[in-house]
Homo-oligomer: A and B are copies of this chain.
């Protein structure tokens, strides 16, 4: 397919994926037995003109955020399609030469309230650089999905990886699960804590060859996401939890904030382009607790069952593991 058409298809795929995912997550909210009122996503349409960006010159996005739900304490499923002109620094940091660009993508982060239920993130995007004459200079796909458990369940980690590995198998000419899993482990890593953000998933970037196939991969990523996450949410979101378990979750959320604000390329790209700040930072959880020099793995005041789950989590965060036998 012509590159231009591939890009336009990607824009549609992102919007369809957003519809499909927000509908499915709202159904979960409605059918959940937890107390409290089910939440629905709140939609905000925004335009580059609503930002103070000196980089963006066109386009905008459709942000859908959820807060204080029965299942989801905070989260968002956002799509955007923006165009603009890179700063010199940004132009150097990306493949290609042209300074005009257009980027489209879907980005989601969901922070469940129940500490037994893991936080999830997924992102699929296409970026093209455009010559002054309006031709496509370079175009590449990137994306991925990763899971961040608080209380640790090995079966959840295996289930999540299996869904994404199945997607890769269906696209085996282009998608090497083993490599994408390794790249995910390398990317979602906090050097200052010497630990992973979570138990990984898949990650890929700068995929320029085989645009048609990457488009097909992206088209199926929405279903793969629901397969990877919904069964986990269904079995965890109604589990009873203690105050100590909740407190551990709020403490772990601090690491999520640290990763996103210090390291995450997508967040930094958003900040540098001057994108819509509320959409960029919808990824941050709430509430979040930081504790000075706290080492939950050595906290003997915690109940033994919780300590065992914490030890298993830290073991998984300290050393990447193969989740698919």
- Give the B-binding residues of A (Cβ under 8 A): 42, 44, 52, 65, 67, 74, 76, 192-194, 250, 254, 257-258, 261-262, 271, 274, 277-278, 280-282, 284-293
**Nearest 8 CB-CB pairs, A to B?**
A261-B261, A65-B292, A286-B290, A278-B293, A284-B290, A288-B288, A286-B289, A287-B287
Counted per complex, copies of this chain come to: 2
Residue of B nearest to A190 (CB): B277
CB distance B292 to A74 under 8 Å? yes
Write out the residue numbers on chain B whose beta carbons fall within 8 Å of the beta carbon of A42. Answer: 292
- Distance in Å: Cβ of A272 to nearest Cβ of chain B: 10
CB distance B258 to A292 under 8 Å? no
CB distance A67 to B292 under 8 Å? yes
A interface, over-half SS: mixed
Contact of A44 among B258, B282, B290, B293 (CB under 8 A): B293
Q: How far is the CA of A261 from the CA of B254 in the complex (A)?
A: 11
CB distance A76 to B288 under 8 Å? no
Q: How far is the CA of A229 from the CA of B65 in the complex (A)?
A: 39
Write out the residue numbers on chain B whose beta carbons fall within 8 Å of the beta carbon of A65. Answer: 292-293
Q: How far is the CA of A278 from the CA of B294 in the complex (A)?
A: 9
Write out the residue numbers on chain B whose beta carbons fall within 8 Å of the beta carbon of A67. Answer: 291-292
